[in-house]
Chains A and B, each alone.
With several copies, the nearest count.
Chain A
C-alpha cells in the first residue's frame, strides 16, 4: 500500500561530492516490496520548491523500519533536503512503482548489475537481496569522476565490483560499457539503472540476454494519474505506452522505446 508518511531522519551524511546518504524511519518501510521501488519526497512544507522529488530506495532494514536513500543535491529541491538533520521529519510518499524482480534470478546464477551515477543506489538493495539468496552479483558502476564515486566498499562486500570514470580518475577509463567488454558474458541476466544513454548502450550490448532497466522521467503525481512520465513502447510491447512511475520504473529490456 502507498503511504504518505512523516518519516523521521535518523542520519544524514555527505558521502561524496554533492552526494548525500539519508536514513529515514517510518511505517512506509513495511510496505516496500522490491528493490528498485522509489519514494516521492516533499522536501519542505513551503510551496517552493513545489513538487515532490522521486528518489530510489537504496537499502531497507525492516527490523528497524529504516530505509536509506542516496541522492545528489544539485537542484533547488535536493539542496533543501540535504539541509535536514537527524530528528527532522520529511513528508514521504511511497513506496511507489515496481522494482527489480529478485525472483527471476536463481541461486547459483551469476548476474550483472550496471549502474551509472545516481542510478547506482537502487542496485545496492537489489544486490543485497540477490546475494542473500545465493545469486552471484557482479557490479559495474560508472561515474563522472573520482570525487562523486560512492558505496564502492559496500558493493565490494557483496561481490566483484568495477568502477569506471569518464575522466579516468578512478578505475577503468570511460563508460560502464568499457568495463562490460571485459566481463565474462557468461551471466544469466542483467539489471541496470542510470542515464538513458547508458541504458541504451547496455541493452544494445546484450540483445539476447534477459535484462531489467530502471528508467527516469520527470514526474508530477508519481502514482500514475497525471500522464507526465509516459514513455513510448516498442512494437513488441502489449501496451501503447507505459508510465514510468506506476508501470515502472523497472521494465524488462525491450519494452520501452529507447
Chain B
C-alpha cells in the first residue's frame, strides 16, 4: 500500500505534493534537476487564449518572509502550450493540472475546452484570483455570483474535473467557495496571493513596475491555513491547499486544516528540490505522528 496516495476528482496522486502554478513554469527547468515523475501532480503556469508577454520588470520583490510578484500571466498561449509544453510533459508519469486564465468568460471557456482534451491534463484549475492583470483574473474571484457562473460555464465544456482557485483578498472566502461548489466545481485550490506593495526606500516608487503584486511565501501561511480551515467546514468538495509551504511540517498543517493535497509555490525558488525533499520526508513524518496513511490527517484539526 502506498501510504501517501490520495485520490481526488480526476487525480490519482501518488503523493499529495505538487508545485503550484506559476512557480514551476511548464516543468522543463525543474525537470533538469530531478525526475518529475516523483511529483504527485504538476500545476502548470496559467494558460491564456493568446500569447501574453506579461508585465514590465521588475516583476518580483522580496518582503519579510515572503515575496511579491506581478508576472502578469506571461505564457505562450493555448496553442503554444498544447503544441510545445504539454507533449513534452507526457514523458513523465505525472498528472497535469492546467491553470486556466482569461479576461472574459469566453476566454476561460475556450481555453478549458481545448486544454482539457490534452491526454495528460487530468484536471483544470480556474484562476479566478490572479491579482496581476488589469482585467479579468481577480474580479471573477471576488463576486460569488460571477464566480459561480464562470465555474458552470467552464464545467459545461471541460472534459476533466474543474478546480477553482480562490483569492484570499475577500471579506468572506467561504461565500465564494460555496458559490463555486454550487456552480459545479469538483474541487477548490487555495490560496492565491494577497495583494501587496513594496516601495523603494530611496525614491518612494513601487519596486514592482506594475505597482502592486501578489504576496506569497511563508508570511502568508497563517492566512492560508485559516482560510482552508474555514472552507473545509463550508463545502463538501476537496481542497488543494497552498500558501507558504516550505517544509514537511507545513504539509501536515494544511492537511490538518482540511486540505487533501498541497501545492508548493515560492519555496521552489528558495530550494529547487523542495518538492522531492518533502515527499521523501513524509513517510517518517507519518511514523512520528503515529499515522498509517496520510489521508488520516485530512481535517484532523476539526475532529479534536
Chain A positions within 8 Å of B, measured between CB atoms, are: 1-2, 4, 42, 47-52, 77, 93, 217-232, 240-241, 246
Closest B residue by C-beta to A3: B33
Closest 8 CB pairs of A and B: A225-B25, A225-B29, A218-B58, A47-B65, A228-B60, A47-B218, A224-B29, A221-B269
Expressed in whole angstroms, the minimum distance between the Cβ of A52 and any Cβ of chain B is 7
Does B246 have its Cβ within 8 Å of any Cβ on chain A? yes
Please state if A4 and B62 are interface contacts (CB–CB under 8 Å): no
Q: Known contacts A217-B57, A227-B54, A232-B53; can you find 6 more A-B pairs with CB under 8 A?
A: A51-B60, A221-B29, A223-B272, A226-B269, A227-B45, A228-B58
Please state if B270 and A50 are interface contacts (CB–CB under 8 Å): yes
Residues of A within 8 A of B28 (CB): 224-225
Cα–Cα, bound, A4→B268 (Å): 12
Closest A residue by C-beta to B217: A50
Chain B positions within 8 Å of A, measured between CB atoms, are: 22-25, 28-30, 32-33, 45, 51, 53-54, 57-67, 69, 71, 74, 217-219, 246, 266, 268-273
Please state if A218 and B33 are interface contacts (CB–CB under 8 Å): no
Residues of A within 8 A of B63 (CB): 50
Cα–Cα, bound, A246→B71 (Å): 17
| Partner among A217, A220, A230, A232 whose Cβ is within 8 Å of the Cβ of B269 | A220
Can you list 7 A-B contacts (CB < 8 A)? A47-B219, A50-B217, A220-B69, A221-B23, A225-B29, A226-B23, A228-B57
Residues of B within 8 A of A52 (CB): 269-270
Residues of A within 8 A of B62 (CB): 49-51, 77
Contact A246-B29, Cβ < 8 Å, known A48-B64, A223-B272: yes
Cα–Cα, bound, A229→B58 (Å): 7
Cα–Cα, bound, A61→B59 (Å): 35
Cα–Cα, bound, A217→B64 (Å): 20
Expressed in whole angstroms, the minimum distance between the Cβ of A50 and any Cβ of chain B is 6
Cα–Cα, bound, A228→B62 (Å): 12
Q: How many A-B contacts at CB < 8 Å in the complex?
A: 105
Closest A residue by C-beta to B66: A50
Please state if A230 and B54 are interface contacts (CB–CB under 8 Å): yes
Please state if A225 and B66 are interface contacts (CB–CB under 8 Å): no
Residues of A within 8 A of B270 (CB): 42, 50-52
Please state if A226 and B272 are interface contacts (CB–CB under 8 Å): no
Residues of A within 8 A of B69 (CB): 220, 226, 228
Residues of A within 8 A of B273 (CB): 4
Cα–Cα, bound, A23→B174 (Å): 52
Contact A220-B67, Cβ < 8 Å, known A52-B269, A225-B268, A226-B269: yes
Contact A218-B60, Cβ < 8 Å, known A51-B270, A93-B272: yes
Residues of B within 8 A of A240 (CB): 51, 53
Cα–Cα, bound, A93→B101 (Å): 32
Expressed in whole angstroms, the minimum distance between the Cβ of A78 and any Cβ of chain B is 12
- Chain B CB within 10 Å, residue with most, of A2, A48, A226, A241: A226
Residues of B within 8 A of A232 (CB): 53
Please state if A227 and B59 are interface contacts (CB–CB under 8 Å): yes
Residues of B within 8 A of A221 (CB): 23, 29, 268-269, 272
Please state if A222 and B246 are interface contacts (CB–CB under 8 Å): no
